[in-house]
Homo-oligomer: A and B are copies of this chain.
Amino acid sequence: MKAAVLHAFDEKLTAKEFVKYEDVTDPKISRPMDVIVRIGGAGVCRTDLHIVEGIWRHENAGWVEAIGPGVEGVKVGDSVICHPLVTSGHCLACRRGDDMHALDSAFPGINANGGYAQYLLTGQRSLIKLPKSLAPKDVAPYTDAGLTAYRAAKKASRHLLPGEYVAVIGAGGLGHIGIQVLAALCAAEIIVIDRAAKSLDLAKECGAHHVVKADGNEVEAVLALTSGRGAEAVIDFVGEGDAIAKGLSMTANGGYYYIVGYGGKIELPTIDMITTEKTIVGNLVGTYAELVELMALADRGLVKLHTKEYRLSQANDALHDLHHGHIHGRAVLIP
């Protein structure tokens, strides 16, 4: 089959050619629960630019091409979306529904072959059948970008009450989904902070009640909007540079700072955690059940992906546009 393969990693990301489009061996069914999915869409992720993980990525949806002998519940031809993690389901974390902390798991695109290719080898436990309203290429980015944003926003929505505020830092590929999830799951007022005017426009379309240009005074702006107390939840989709310190500063006393983006460093005196009684929450993708929940939102039109399509053979263009900040929403590779 054809695939877009990383051969060597260019630390400075100056290369025009991030990946090579070439022939690779077809995946094969070897275990009872294996499933091969013909890729209909593969999301392009900022993690691909960090690329500590290798390449071929992990946001995939398509059609079931072949199934192992033990597979029940999906059949060849079904349109499916793939949870990014492949787990056996036997450890205690899995049994509690907490797939992401499974003891044994494979992460296609990170520690196994991923979906910048025509076919993907995965397992039955990773597949969710799509409703007719949703085409694979339109939903692929939900499996990682979408799911990560969903989980963080859902955590926040569990404690956000009417009259409270949530600040979202970054309205890009993840952020623009997070905003829609917040609007669907709670009645807090949503403040969105971004450097790009275009992203702030997207934020408004997605349901932001207030937008703040990240011009150096974003903490003051959030305090002004919140009667001086800060936001009860801050979801930081940037996670690098001064976003972190600012995100913590705009969190209200007793509030929660959800960290989703990465690349930077948290640095603060313990005394500040004590006197403000804040909580800092790490977020790692989401569970299978949460992906089902997100699909339910998408099926009802409560969450919409803003995507830009590229052919698999043009993967480099997509990575290039992402690297240079030309994508507002999410890039998707199609066959």
Contacts and interface: CB of A to CB of B under 8 A. Distances in A.
Interface of A: 32-33, 69-70, 72-73, 88-90, 92-93, 95-101, 124-125, 158, 161-163, 184-187, 189, 239-240, 244, 253-254, 259-284, 287-289, 292-297, 300, 302
Given A101-B253, A289-B95, A266 B273 contact: yes
A254 B98 contact: yes
A158 B263 CA distance: 32
19 contacts: A70-B70, A95-B288, A95-B292, A97-B98, A158-B158, A162-B294, A162-B302, A185-B187, A187-B300, A187-B302, A239-B274, A262-B270, A264-B269, A265-B269, A272-B282, A273-B280, A275-B284, A276-B284, A280-B280
A161 B290 CA distance: 9
A253 B98 CA distance: 11
Given A32-B32, A187-B296, A273-B282, 12 more contacts: A96-B289, A158-B158, A162-B293, A162-B296, A162-B300, A259-B274, A261-B270, A262-B273, A274-B282, A274-B283, A277-B283, A278-B282
B267 A267 contact: yes
Contacts of A184: 162, 187
Nearest to A238: B270
Contact of A270 (B88, B264, B279, B289): B264
Contact of A124 (B90, B292, B295): B90
Given A162-B294, A187-B302, A297-B162, A277 B270 contact: no
A262 B266 contact: no
A93 to B, nearest CB: 8
Contact of A186 (B100, B185, B189): B185
Contacts of A273: 259, 262, 266, 280, 282
A268 B273 CA distance: 14
